Chain A
Amino acid sequence: MSKLDSKVPKGPLADKWSHYKSHANLVNPSNKRKLDIIIVGTGLAGASAAASLGEMGFQVKVFCYQDSPRRAHSIAAQGGINASKNYQNDGDSVYRLFYDTIKGGDYRAREANVHRLAEVSGPIIDQCVAQGVPFARDYGGLLDNRSFGGAQVSRTFYARGQTGQQLLLGAYGALSRQIEKGNVKLYERHDMMDLVMIDGKARGIIARNLVTGELERFFGHAVALATGGYGNVFFLSTNAMGSNGSAVWQVYKKGAFFGNPCFTQIHPTCIPVHGDYQSKLTLMSESLRNDGRIWVPKNKEDAEKLRHGKLKAKEIKEEDRDYYLERRYPAFGNLVPRDVASRAAKERCDAGYGVGETGLAVFLDFSESIARLGRNVIEERYGNLFQMYEKIVDDNPYEMPMMIYPAVHYTMGGLWVDYELQSTIPGLFVMGEANFSDHGANRLGASALMQGLADGYFVLPYTIQNYLSNEIRTPRLKTDLPEFEKTEKEVKDRIDKLMNIKGKNSVDYFHKQLGKIMWDYVGMARNETGLKKGIELIIALREEFWKDVLVPGTTAGVNTELEKALRVADFLELGELMAMDALNRNESCGGHFREEFQTDEGEALRNDDTYKYVACWEFKGNSQHELHKEALDYEFIEVKQRNYK
C-alpha cells in the first residue's frame, strides 16, 4: 500500500532545507484555527512541537501518561545538547557537526535529514536561552561548552548535569503558555491505545484515561507521535519505568513502517547491575568522560583480588593499570563514541579483567583530574552526578573511582519517516527518539536533545503544514463515526482479553524474562545462532504470557498492572522484530555488532555493498513482517571505515 519515498528535496545539500521551507505550502491564519493536531508525548519533541504549533494558531491536543508534561523522560538527560555555534573558536561548523553525526552513526543515516539537524542546532540554543534556560556560563558571561564522544571540538552546551531537565522545562513553559491561551488542550494521565484511520489517513486516537480507566476518543486532522524509544523491551534500561513502545507498535500494526528496529544504543557509563530486585539502571553522563579516565587492571590476579574485596582500586599502581580506550584509540581516547566504548568495556570484562562483585564493571577514575583541577572544579562540573552515584552505590567517587558498565539507553531505530517526518501512513508524523531518522546505527552523545528540539521547534511545524494545507476543507470529524467505534472496540477487546486470562504469573515476571532474552541474544553482541534462538524464546514466552499472565483488579479506575500488561504485550511482539532485523543485517555497524562480522582488531565490519540501506519493516500479521529497503545514497560525503584511532 505505502510506497517508500524519502521526499528529499533536490539541490545542493546545504540548500535543501531552506529551499524546502521557501516552497512548502502554508496554511493561512484563519484556517489554522480550524485544524486540530494531536500530539502524543510531552518530552522535548512533543512539548516543543505542541507549543510551536499552538503559537502558530493551530488547535492542539497533547497527551502524556505522566501526571504532568514536565515529567517526560527527556528530563533525565544529563550531559548536554550539541550545536555548531563554534563559540569556542575550535573550528566547528554546520558541515562538521553534520559529518561527525553521519560518521558517528556509522554511515547508516540519511544525509539530508542530518544536515538539516546540524543547520537548526544553532537556533535551538538561541531559542532556549531566550526562554530563560540557565546554561552554564563562564566568568565573562558567555556560554560555556564541553566535549562529548565522537567529536574533536567542544560543541556541547550544558546546564550542570541537568541539561535535559532545563531544556524540557523551557519547552514545558512554552507549552504551558499555550495551554493558558487555550490553543493547546492538555490530557495528562492518558495512554494512547490505538490510532484511528479514516480513508487511509490518520484521523485520531483512542486513549485510556489512567485515572478513570475509561477509553476516550479524540479527533485530529493530523497525528504526531513523540513517544520516545523502546529500550524498556530489555526490562533493565536507563529509560523511565513508564517509557514504552506501545504507541509506536500500534501504528506499526496499522501500516506505518518500522526503520532499523535492531539499532539499540548501549551506553558505556551506567551503574552496574547489583541484584535481581533491580528495576532500572542509572546512567552516569557521558560528560564524565571529559575528565574521568577509564581503566581496568593490567593483571588478571589484581582483577580477581578486586572482585573479592582483597584489594582496592587506589592500591593498584599506575603502571599496573590498563587505560584501554586511550591505548586502543589514542586520537579520541576516553571520548570515543558510545558503541565503541561499550564494546571495549565488554571485551575487557569478558577477557577476565572486569572488576566489582560480578566482574562486570570497569573503573571511571577522576583522581588525575582532581589533582590537576582541584576538587571544587570537578564538583562544580559533575556535583549532582557524583552525589547520585554516592546515594545509589554508597561509595564516594571523589575518593574511589566509580564503577561502571554498559546498559541499554536509547533506540536509534523507530518508525520510518520521510524528510517531512511523515510516516508511511498519511497524516501520521513521528518526532524525536520515536522515529528512526537522524542517528544511523549509533547516536552521538548530546545529540538526542538536539534532535528532539529540532524536530519539535523547527522541522515539524513547517512540514506538517505542507500536509495540512490539503486538509483545510476537511471539517472536524465527529468521534461517533464507525471508524472510531470500531477501533475503540478493538482496544476494549484487547484489554478484556488480558484481564480475563487470570493466570498465575505477574506482568513483571514476563517482562524480566523478556529482558533477559533480549540482553542475552539481541544485546551488545549478536550472532546468527543466538538471534534464532532468541526469536524462538520470545515466541514461546509470548504464548505463555497470553495464557498465564495475571492482571489483578478491574478495568475501572487506576490499574497500574493493566497499564504495564498492555505495554509488555507490545514489547513481546516488538522484541521479535528487533531480533529479526538483527538477523537480517549480516554486518556490524554502530550499535549493531554481529560477532561474525568484525575486523582482526575486533572493530565493527560494515558491509556497504549489501547493507547500505534502511531496513523498513511492514507488518503483515502475527509474526509476519516484510522487508523493504530505502537505499542510502551518499551524494556529498565519502563513505569510509570509521576510525577513532
Chain B
Amino acid sequence: MDLTLKIWKQKDSKSKGRFETYKVKNISPNCSFLEMLDILNEQLIYKGDEPVVFDHDCREGICGMCSLYINGRPHGPDKAITVCQMHMRNFHDGQTVIIEPWRSRAFPVIRDLMVDRSAFDKIIQAGGYTSINTGGAQDANAILIPKVDADMAMDAAACIGCGSCVAACKNSSAMLFVSAKVSQLALLPQGKAEAFERVQKMVETMDKLGFGNCTNTFACEAECPKEIKSWNIAKMNREFIAAKMCSEKRKEANFAG
C-alpha cells in the first residue's frame, strides 16, 4: 500500500516544531508500523536527509519505549497493543497517517517524536517499591497470598510505563500509571506496611511534576496497551484518603484499613 505520512519534526526541546509530509510506497500489510518508519528512514538517509527520530527498543510490546500518537490516538488504531506490535494491515492504501509525539507538558519533546518521560521515574523513586534491602527475606511461601489478590496485583503490575495514559488524557493526568503501582503494592501483604506513606509521596510527586488531575473520562483505560483498569484509580483514591486521615496515628489507620 502507498501512504502519506504527516510527521512532527522538532530539532530539540527549545526549537519550534512543525509537520513534514512524506510518502512511502509498496508497504506490505504484514510490515509492522515501526518497520514502515524504518523504510521511510532508509529512504530519507539515501536522499541525504536526516531520519525521523522516534523511541523504540524491544519491538515486542513490553519495554514501553515506543510512544507515537497516530491519527489522534496513542499507539494508533488497534486496541490493547503498543505501536511496535501494530501491523500495517490496520491501514489502507492511500491513507494519510498523522504521527505526533506524546502531548503533555510533563513529557517535553527531545527531538521529533522522542519525548522525555523521566517524570515517571521520579514518581517511582518517590515510593513505588517496598523498602527492603537485599538478603534476609523470609521464605517466599511463608505468607500465603490469596490467588485473587495475586492476580489483581499482576493485572496492575502489567503496566509498561509507556505514558499513553497521560498522552490520551485531556488533562495530562498520570493517575492510571501511578495508581497501577500503588494498587499492586497495596494488594500484596509485602506492600501493606508502608502503603499509606507510599501513596502520599507518589501523589505529591505526581502533582509537583506538572501532571493534571483526573476527571473520570477514562480515555487512559481505553487507550492503555496493557488494559490497565481504571479501578486502580478508585483504589488509589481510597488509599490516599485513608492515608490522609489516618497516617498520623498508625492505630487509627488500622481501623480504617
Contact = CB atoms under 8 A, between A and B. Distances in A.
A123 B46 contact: no
Contact of B31 (A138, A275, A387): A275
Interface residues of B toward A: which range? 35 or more
Contact of B35 (A68, A166, A277): A277
Interface in B126-153: 126, 128-135, 137-141, 144-147, 150-151, 153
B56 interface: yes
Interface stretch (A102-110, A303-311, A550-558, A617-625): A550-558
B197 interface: no
Interface string A373-406: 0000000000000011001101000000000000
Contacts of A130: 130, 132, 137-138, 190
Contacts of A127: 134-135, 137
B114 interface: yes
B203 to A, nearest CB: 16
Contacts, number: 215
Interface stretch (B60-68, B235-243, B244-252): B60-68
Given A68-B118, A134-B157, A142 B60 contact: no
A387 to B, nearest CB: 7
A482 interface: no
Interface stretch (A157-165, A443-451, A631-639): A157-165
Interface stretch (B1-9, B37-45, B165-173, B207-215): B37-45
Given A51-B134, A131-B129, A139 B147 contact: yes
Nearest to B57: A240
Nearest to A186: B121
Contact of A129 (B61, B126, B140, B154): B140
B234 interface: no
Interface stretch (A252-260, A278-286, A522-530, A566-574): A278-286
B116 interface: yes
Contact of B124 (A55, A76, A176, A277): A176
Interface string A493-515: 00000000000001010000000
Contacts of A143: 140-141
A241 B116 CA distance: 19
Contacts of B161: 68, 70
Interface string A165-181: 11001001110110110
A384 B235 CA distance: 25
Interface residues of A, number: 81
- Highest count of chain B CB atoms <10 Å: which of A55, A129, A508: A129
Interface string A531-562: 00000000000000000001011000110110
Interface in A388-431: 388, 391-392, 394
B12 to A, nearest CB: 6
A552 B137 contact: no
B23 interface: no
A52 interface: yes
Contacts of A76: 58, 60, 62-63
A485 interface: no
A212 B85 CA distance: 30
Interface in A56-108: 66-73, 75-76, 85, 87
Contacts of A137: 145-147, 150
B11 A557 contact: yes
A435 interface: no
Contact of B110 (A87, A160, A211): A211
Nearest to A456: B134
B130 A126 contact: no
A131 B132 contact: yes
A136 B157 CA distance: 12
Contacts of A550: 45-46
A46 interface: no
B120 interface: yes
B59 interface: yes
Given A70-B64, A130-B130, A561 B45 contact: yes
B130 A132 contact: yes
A391 B45 contact: no
A600 B41 CA distance: 50
A285 B222 CA distance: 28
Contacts of A394: 30, 87, 89
A561 to B, nearest CB: 6
Contacts of B153: 132, 134
Interface string B46-57: 101111010111
A407 to B, nearest CB: 12
Interface string B68-82: 000000000010110
A75 B58 contact: yes
B230 interface: no
A188 interface: yes
B184 interface: yes
A126 B137 contact: yes
B121 A176 contact: yes
B62 A162 contact: yes
A76 B137 CA distance: 26
Contact of B65 (A71, A282, A387, A392): A71
A174 B134 contact: yes
Interface string A4-45: 000000000000000000000000000000000000000000
15 contacts: A52-B134, A70-B64, A71-B58, A126-B137, A130-B190, A131-B132, A134-B151, A141-B146, A162-B62, A176-B129, A280-B59, A282-B60, A388-B60, A508-B42, A552-B50
Name the 4 nearest CB pairs between A and B, nearest first: A173-B129, A141-B144, A130-B137, A134-B154
Given A123-B135, A134-B151, A135-B140, 18 more contacts: A70-B124, A131-B130, A137-B146, A159-B157, A160-B154, A164-B62, A174-B129, A241-B59, A275-B28, A391-B78, A391-B81, A392-B85, A392-B87, A508-B42, A552-B44, A552-B49, A557-B111, A560-B51
